[in-house]
Amino acid sequence: MSASALVSRLEALCGTNYVLTHPHALSTYASDGLAQYHQTPLAVARPGTAEEVHAVVLACFEAGVPWVARGAGTGLSGGALPVAEGVLIALSRLRRILAVDLDDGCIVVEPGVTNLAISRAVSPTHFYPPDPSSQIVCSIGGNVAENSGGAHCFKYGFTTNYVIGLEVVLSDGTVIELDRDAPGYDLLGAFVGSEGTLGVATRIRLRVVPVPESVRTLVAFFEDTSAAGDAVTAIVSAGIVPGAIEMMDRLSIKAAEQATHAGYRLDAGAALIVELDGPHDECTARFEHVMTLCSEAGARDVRVAQSEEERALIWKTRKAAFAAMGRIAPAYYVQDGVIPRTRLSEVLGKIDELATEYGLQVANVFHAGDGNLHPLVCYDDARDGEPERAEELAGLIVKACVDFGGSITGEHGVGIDKKRYMPDMFAEPDLEAFQRLRCAFDPHGLANPGKVMPTPRLCGEVPGPYREHPLERAGVAERF
Ligand SMILES: Cc1cc2nc3c(=O)[nH]c(=O)nc-3n(C[C@H](O)[C@H](O)[C@H](O)COP(=O)(O)OP(=O)(O)OC[C@H]3O[C@@H](n4cnc5c(N)ncnc54)[C@H](O)[C@@H]3O)c2cc1C
């Protein structure tokens, strides 16, 4: 099937208004949240129902054309970066809440529903705990594909702990149902975090939990991140499991405070947000204990939210940290790595050393309880060679995380950006096992090719024009 015949077929399936081919329209979809990479697809299809998604995937299969699923495009590792000559399947029209069953503690949604809309749909009695900072816009389909986390995952767990059922369209058009409680291989577990490489999720069943009786939130200001890190260790060692425990360093406080005017102390080297939730009496007693531990670790100032508005402002500042970096530098690169919590000071020392060597500023925001770092490497994209230096520095930070016993990603995924680091974490047989799993779901290599794995997979007959070298034909993305 020729490219124009495929486009006509997509138009017949979705409606002409929902298939984009004009270069201006396509440019909106050329990147995701990792703007350093861009690629123009053959077409963007915007199906309106699960059945239309199925039909689009089948049409791509019959044409032998690769495709990439896209939710809200907020991913930070280039997972939703299109493939040249491929189809981008944008799921933003699939926004229906299909069923809410609070007695059973579950909700069924389409993949384009935003993360925040899920909590809203089950409020005021329940909520959906995984809360990425992008939750106002990011889609639950993207969350499932990335196994997204957020501030409240230290206590509550990640997306994978909440997905209990999926309807998935495989790249040959087969529709499968995956159920958390079904016997046999845990294919649902394999799908969550697979970054769109195993199929498209078209229906998602999630667990939701009751809203806790009481929530208490504070922000404590420290001389430096090392003292704030000591407070984290003391709190966790005392057996306290905060609903959330988040840290921001001096530079990220400076950027975020300019955006929200929440009253964060600009003279502090670190801000630690601690939120406890649970039964009222337990929460109150533990909260007193947390305040004492913060003071003992050297907190200069501990501010307790006295109202829901104050609590919201504390969180708004934390959640604004990424976007607010634009106030510090014209461009920045969001890194995502994991380290053992106890090695925070050493790793931050290493990051400082590297930042000085590269002559660049690095701000740090952490999910401190999980040891999940988000170094934000600031640069000026108008200066010759600076974007490349920033990328190199970000890469060395990831390698440092692995050297200190951590991981190349905590929650933003591997995508196109970090596949080169996979061999730093996995041995050849491990990578091969991943490839075999991927080939079992997508033997024709049409689902999000070129992502996650460092080497091409050649696992079977590819129909149509991609028969020879699917990845080479699919095109390497342009960077910067
Ligand atoms: C300001 C900001 C803050 C962020 N904060 C956090 C955070 O706190 N925690 C966190 O974990 N992440 C965070 N992120 C990253 C991002 O928001 C998450 O990765 C999110 O889950 C992506 O969702 P999306 O709908 O934008 O997905 P997209 O970016 O559109 O896609 C992401 C991946 O999912 C795949 N995909 C999308 N939908 C489907 C589907 N239905 N079926 C199969 N595959 C699919 C795509 O192919 C791609 O590989 C942040 C991003 C930004 C910009």
Residue 106 lies in a domain: yes
Which residue owns the Cα nearest ligand 1 atom 15?
Answer: 75
Buried b (16+ CB within 10 A) or exposed e, 156-166: bebbbebbbbb
Neighbours of 393 (CB within 10 A): 22
How many angstroms separate the alpha carbon of residue 411 from the centre of ligand 1? 9
Determine whether the shortest distance from the Cβ of 193 to ligand 1 is under 6 A. no
101 and 206 in a single domain? The answer is: yes
Contact by Cβ (8 Å): 252, 260: no
202 and 301 in a single domain? The answer is: no
Residue 52 lies in a domain: no
Determine whether the shortest distance from the Cβ of 41 to ligand 1 is under 6 A. no
Residue 256 lies in a domain: yes
Which residue owns the Cα nearest ligand 1 atom 53?
Answer: 74
106 and 195 in a single domain? The answer is: yes
284 and 336 in a single domain? The answer is: no
Determine whether the shortest distance from the Cβ of 445 to ligand 1 is under 6 A. no
Residue 468 lies in a domain: no
187 and 235 in a single domain? The answer is: no
Q: How far apart are CA 273 and CA 364, in angstroms?
A: 14
Where in 118-243 does DSSP place strands (E)? 126-127, 163-169, 175-179, 200-207, 209-210, 214-222
pLDDT tens-digit profile of 125-170?
999 999 999 999 999 999 999 999 999 999 999 999 999 999 999 9
CATH (domain of 169)? 3.30.465.10
Residue 90 lies in a domain: no
Where in 317-459 does DSSP place strands (E)? 331-334, 337-338, 362-367, 372-379
End position of a domain, from candidates 270, 298, 322: 322
CATH (domain of 268)? 3.30.70.2190
pLDDT per position in the chain (480 positions), as tens?
789 999 999 999 999 999 999 999 999 999 999 988 999 999 999 999 999 999 999 999 999 999 999 999 999 999 999 999 999 999 999 999 999 999 999 999 999 999 999 999 999 999 999 999 999 999 999 999 999 999 999 999 999 999 999 999 999 999 999 999 999 999 999 999 999 999 999 999 999 999 999 999 999 999 999 999 999 999 999 999 999 999 999 999 999 999 999 999 999 999 999 999 999 999 999 999 999 999 999 999 999 999 999 999 999 999 899 889 989 999 999 999 999 988 888 998 899 999 999 999 999 999 998 899 999 999 999 999 999 999 999 999 999 999 999 999 989 999 999 999 999 999 999 999 999 999 999 999 999 999 999 877 666 544 444 333 344 344 444 444
Contact by Cβ (8 Å): 57, 89: yes
Q: Tell me, what DSSP letter sits at residue 42?
A: S
How many angstroms separate the alpha carbon of residue 139 from the centre of ligand 1? 7
The domain in which residue 199 lies consists of 97-210
How many structural domains comprise the chain?
A: 3
Determine whether the shortest distance from the Cβ of 414 to ligand 1 is under 6 A. no
Residue 69 lies in a domain: no
305 and 333 in a single domain? The answer is: no
DSSP 167-201: EEE-TTS-EEEEETTSSS--HHHHHTTSTTSS-EE
End position of a domain, from candidates 322, 354, 387: 322
Q: Report the relative pairing of strands 43-45 and 87-90 from DSSP bridges.
A: parallel
Cis peptide before 124 (omega within 30 of 0): yes
Give the position, in ligand 1's atom list, of the atom nearest the Cα of 199.
43
Determine whether the shortest distance from the Cβ of 134 to ligand 1 is under 6 A. yes
How many angstroms separate the alpha carbon of residue 80 from the centre of ligand 1? 8
Determine whether the shortest distance from the Cβ of 411 to ligand 1 is under 6 A. yes
pLDDT tens-digit profile of 317-363?
998 998 899 899 999 999 999 999 888 889 988 999 999 999 999 99
Q: Give Cα separations from 463 to 61, 124, 282, 349 (angstroms).
A: 8, 50, 61, 52
How many angstroms separate the alpha carbon of residue 136 from the centre of ligand 1? 12
Residue 395 lies in a domain: yes
Determine whether the shortest distance from the Cβ of 195 to ligand 1 is under 6 A. yes
End position of a domain, from candidates 299, 322, 345: 322
